[in-house]
């Protein structure tokens, strides 16, 4: 089963009563169903990621990821510079940028010099087109800068500083590629971080207790519709040297640890219909060095599908 279109895939581990495991593949590479028997049948769908990895958005020269035309005070950035700005304050129509040491809080790390935008015509192409252009054109500069490929589903994401419509009207057809943190919330502001991206751990870990819905890898409040809740992490570093290739291999490795984390999270036992699970690591993420698996719990609904709930399962057994 391929991982294209997915950040991580979800499977159910046994709780000591596993009877059998079957796999049904529908439209290979697009959707996979794993059927695990726990005194009954439950089907678990591979979790789709957004059409682009979470946070894979272009930073407009307005300094945000919306269609604002408030510009940044641009500089001739060079690769390796760490840049920040106030995402809410506007001074004389622009948001002033500041190059800071990477050990200080910053929003982006520049990965290329100014690159010409070509093939989009002379009229302003719109932010969606510029977003897609920067997403594609910055892949190689990011790789050249880091010396390796970014984990496409990891903590960091490649983006770009692209012109606003006002910039474009004045003949500015350039993009600076940059690397930033994956967005913490949908359509939220950029998140400041410290340290250089090069050599940093790329694993994207949601806080224990985070709730995630069926269509996005971005956490939502547990009072909003969701199907999974993070119970903890399992680090496979030095323990699993070759990436597991099958559901059975993942299950053998993760079932004991994720099961124990689930029991602790739930309060000592499994409420009716609640099952434990985990997100496996995509091949591209494994190649990029990811070795930490996040364990989860969810509620099984009618027909064995994961139910959408609007409550936290933490301590549900108490």
CA proximity to 223, closest of 307, 298, 299, 310: 310
CA proximity to 277, closest of 261, 289, 291: 261
Helices and strands, number each (H, E), in the chain:
5, 16
Quote the CA–CA distance of 26 and 246 in Å, as a whole number. 16
User: What pTM did the predictor assign?
Assistant: 0.71
What is the tens place of the pLDDT at every residue in 67-106?
Answer: 456 678 777 899 999 999 998 888 887 888 999 999 999 9
Q: Percentage of the chain with pLDDT > 70?
A: 77
Mean pLDDT of the chain: 79
Residue 309's pLDDT band (cuts 50, 70, 90): very high
Inter-CA distances, 6 with 30, 136, 158, 179, 305, Å:
8, 18, 18, 21, 19
Quote the CA–CA distance of 292 and 233 in Å, as a whole number. 6
Quote the CA–CA distance of 276 and 20 in Å, as a whole number. 16
What average pLDDT does the segment 21-45 reach? 25
Quote the CA–CA distance of 73 and 63 in Å, as a whole number. 10
For the cut 80, the answer to whether the pLDDT of residue 53 exceeds it is no
> In this structure, are residues 10 and 47 in contact, taking their beta carbons and an 8 Å threshold?
yes
């Amino acid at each position: 089963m391929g991982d294209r279109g997915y950040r991580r895939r979800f499977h159910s581990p046994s709780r000591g009563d596993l009877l059998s495991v079957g796999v049904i593949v529908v439209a290979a590479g697009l959707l996979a169903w794993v059927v695990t028997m726990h005194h009954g049948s439950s089907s678990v769908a591979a979790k789709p990621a957004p059409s682009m990895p979470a946070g894979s958005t272009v930073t407009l020269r307005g300094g945000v990821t919306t269609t604002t035309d408030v510009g940044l005070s641009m500089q001739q950035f060079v690769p390796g510079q760490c840049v920040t700005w106030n995402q809410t304050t506007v001074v004389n129509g622009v948001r002033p940028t500041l190059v800071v040491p990477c050990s200080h809080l910053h929003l982006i790390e520049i990965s290329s010099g100014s690159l010409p935008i070509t093939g989009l015509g002379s009229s302003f192409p719109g932010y969606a087109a510029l977003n897609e252009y920067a997403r594609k054109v910055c892949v190689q500069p990011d790789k050249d800068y880091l010396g390796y490929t970014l984990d496409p589903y990891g903590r960091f994401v490649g983006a770009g500083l692209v012109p606003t419509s006002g910039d474009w009207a004045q003949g500015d057809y350039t993009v600076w590629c940059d690397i930033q943190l994956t967005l913490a919330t949908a359509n939220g502001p950029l998140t400041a971080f410290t340290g250089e991206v090069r050599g940093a751990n790329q694993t994207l870990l949601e806080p224990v207790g985070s709730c995630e819905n069926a269509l996005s890898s971005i956490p939502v409040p547990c009072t909003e519709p969701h199907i999974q809740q993070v119970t903890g992490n399992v680090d496979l570093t030095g323990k699993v040297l070759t990436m597991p290739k099958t559901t059975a291999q993942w299950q053998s490795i993760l079932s004991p640890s994720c099961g124990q984390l689930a029991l602790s999270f739930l309060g000592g036992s499994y409420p009716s219909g609640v099952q434990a699970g985990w997100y496996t690591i995509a091949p591209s993420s494994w190649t990029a060095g990811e070795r930490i698996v996040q364990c989860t719990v969810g509620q099984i609904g009618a027909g064995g599908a994961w139910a959408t709930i609007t409550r936290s399962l933490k301590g549900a057994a108490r």
